[in-house]
Structure formats: structure tokens, C-alpha cells
Amino acid sequence: MSERIRASWDEYFMNIAKEVATRSTCSRKHVGAVIVRGKCILATGYNGSIRGLGHCDDEGHLMEDGHCVRTVHAEANAIVQAAKNGAGIEGGSIYVTASPCWPCFKLIANAGLGRIAFGEFYRDHKIFDFAGKIGIELFDMSGKVDR
């Protein structure tokens, strides 16, 4: 009989974020986010179109500067889901399959989340400098970021 290795909490929540990403509706990048406090999941989000509008995968991408801007990012959707459901997220952590872009980083900071765990680095190095200035812990779960 093989011995099963139990996932750490970080691995567990990142695995859930990866599953959440499978709901993404923009084929350019599937991203999932999970907000956690006290080892309890408070909200999830994935990148998808504005509620009530067609998805990129169905209607095409809305491109600006090489990026699709039709979707609401996973981090923003998770924060909105928490707000809609009255879940206080201040002091919690967010697990994201890709590091947050600058606008999402600002939302995370102002929502009071104290820790960002990410599975791959995605395009914006300034989050490292600003996270240090305001006391947000960044946890790179890929082991590949060169700052």
C-alpha cells in the first residue's frame, strides 16, 4: 500500500484556486482565486465577463494593448463575491493561480487582505515593492520569480 502525502494548507487552497480557474470564460488566460481566513474559504472568483454579457470564448476578445479587457479578473470577482455575501475578508489571504496585476493588487490591498499566495508570476514586478511597503506578504508558490 502506498503512503498518501497530505497536502499543506497552502497546497490545498492553491489546488482549489486551480479548479476555480477551470470556470474562466476567457481562453487567453484562465485564472482562479480563493479568499481564506482562519483556514475557511470565504469566496472564490475566476476571470469572466461582466454579469449578463457574452463571454470572450463565445463573442471574441476585447483587446487593448495586447490584453483582453472584456473580463473582470479573478481577484476582483472573489472580492465582489465576498462583499455580496457579507463575508468579512480583512486580515485574510488570497490564493491566486497567477500573481495579481497592478489594479487587482490595489483592490486586494484596500480590501485588507494580508497575504497573497500565487502560483505563477504574471507581468507586474511593482507589486513586490509595494507589498513590502504596506506589509502584505507575497508567497510565490512557483519558486520561479526573479525579482
> For this structure, is 75 an active site residue?
yes
> Active site residue: 11, 64, 75, 90, which one?
75
* Cα atoms in the 13 Å half-sphere on the side-chain side of 12: 9
Largest CA distance in the chain: 54
93: exposed, middle or buried (C-beta count within 10 Å: 0-12, 13-18, 19+)? Answer: buried
Measured between alpha carbons, how far is residue 39 from residues 28, 70, 117 in Å? 31, 32, 14
Which active-site residues does the annotation give?
Answer: 75
